[in-house]
Amino acid sequence: MNSIKDSVHDHIEVEGVAEELLDTPMVQRLRRIRQLGTAPFVYPSANHTRFEHSLGVYHLANQALSHLGIDGRTAERVRAAALLHDTGHGPYSHNLESLIYRHTGRYHDEIHDLLDTGEVAVVLERHGLDPERVADLVRGDGRYGQLVSGELDVDRMDYLVRDAHHTGVPYGTIDHGRLVRELRFLEGELVLAEGNVQTAESLLLARALMNPTVYNHHVARISKAMLRRGTERLLRAGATDAGELRRMDDRDLTVALRSCSETAEYARRLDTRNLYKRAVWAELDAVGDDLLAADHATIRNLEADVAEAAGVEPEHVVLDIPGRPSIPESTSRVVVNGDVRRLRDQSTLVQAVLRVQRDQWRLGAYAPADATEQVGHAAERILGLDLDALVSDIRVERTATLDEFSED
């Protein structure tokens, strides 16, 4: 048994299949993928990686299994899945997911292929574990998959606490000790025991507060959009392909962007934090349904149109249209007076939080600092934004949340 020191959970004890999996290249690679992608542009100390997060998820899974009285091979399988759950991530964590998906036709759940080959498969089999079944757990399938990937999974518990610790933003500070202790299986469903409506709500609220402050901070969004755009050009330039990209770590991608003449400018801007600024920052009500439903090709065309209308380089307009807000935690289950209920049916807060997410939703159009005026005007017209619904008459909301270096 080994003990690894973690800045969040102190000592994490690793043994069995997990100890061997740690040494595989696939898991070691996670040391070079930062947990929050471009978020360090806003929170400079948020340089934690998927590796330590994976250890944390393994640790909480272990505690949950012990409280639930689950052991033997089932438990080993869950532990393996907890440690491996992020191995499918490309560089910069979630930042490039949609891009990789579009280019490979597959989502980050190509996890079955990953675990079925190479050293990981060898280790799993040596411990009598079927890689397929471990991959199922990573995808959240089956009774125990809920522990790894579901509304009440230990992944969520670790990242909220860890992201709070490393950003310095106090809002993610949930009581993970209590959450893990109160998990139960009832009729095959993972639920929180009686008396925990508020515990479930606290999980929901933690994410609701972390979303605008950290995960969707506009500087994180802008840099992410620029990274995505640069990476897309890298693919178009033939400097890499989607299969190779998916297996890169943050370092490979950074250097690849610098080395390719067509993306060097993006790399230079990211390296020096010389980011685009918001030309438009529009609320949900200002955005037509067509625009919300637009596919990737349509958006690229719109960007080109806006650039042309604004008289700027095509590369100097980036549209960033998030999906409609949703709250996965709203379906988490809690026991109330003996019955299992969905949190959304039990908690008045769920609807409120959904509305808040809606209020906080923003379409962004980004451009170099000296082009935001033209691009803003052009985007407004071409995207058919409802002027009156814009949060301010200058197309860009001036109400930035915490800014590093006051970059609007």
The token duo for 268 is 């230079």
In single-letter form, the type of residue at position 83 comes to L
- Minimal distance, residue 257 CB to a copy of itself, in Å: 10
Quick one: 103 or 165, whose CB is closer to a copy of itself?
Answer: 165
Q: Are 408 and 369 in contact (CB under 8 A)?
A: no
Q: Are 302 and 375 in contact (CB under 8 A)?
A: no
Quick one: 141 or 194, whose CB is closer to a copy of itself?
Answer: 194
Which helix or strand (DSSP H or E) is residue 308 part of?
Answer: helix 296-310
The token duo for 348 is 């008045």
Quick one: 196 or 374, whose CB is closer to a copy of itself?
Answer: 196
Quick one: 73 or 398, whose CB is closer to a copy of itself?
Answer: 398
Quick one: 90 or 212, whose CB is closer to a copy of itself?
Answer: 212
Quick one: 296 or 324, whose CB is closer to a copy of itself?
Answer: 324
Quick one: 144 or 361, whose CB is closer to a copy of itself?
Answer: 361
- Minimal distance, residue 304 CB to a copy of itself, in Å: 30
CA angle in degrees (0–180, nearest 5) for 346-348-350: 90
Quick one: 18 or 319, whose CB is closer to a copy of itself?
Answer: 18
Q: Name the phi and psi angles at 190, rounded to 5.
A: -80, 120
Q: Are 253 and 244 in contact (CB under 8 A)?
A: no
Give 72's Cβ-side CA count (13 Å radius).
3
Which helix or strand (DSSP H or E) is residue 133 part of?
Answer: helix 131-138
- Minimal distance, residue 404 CB to a copy of itself, in Å: 5
- Minimal distance, residue 297 CB to a copy of itself, in Å: 32
- Minimal distance, residue 375 CB to a copy of itself, in Å: 22
Q: Are 36 and 48 in contact (CB under 8 A)?
A: yes
Q: Which residues contact 68 (CB under 8 A, 6 or more apart)?
A: 183, 184, 185
- Minimal distance, residue 265 CB to a copy of itself, in Å: 14
- Minimal distance, residue 27 CB to a copy of itself, in Å: 9
- N-to-C CA span, the chain: 50
- Minimal distance, residue 298 CB to a copy of itself, in Å: 31
Minimal CA–CA distance to 211: which of 154, 159, 176?
Answer: 159
Q: Which residues contact 363 (CB under 8 A, 6 or more apart)?
A: 280, 281, 282, 286, 287, 291, 319, 320, 321, 322, 383, 385
Q: Are 137 and 148 in contact (CB under 8 A)?
A: yes
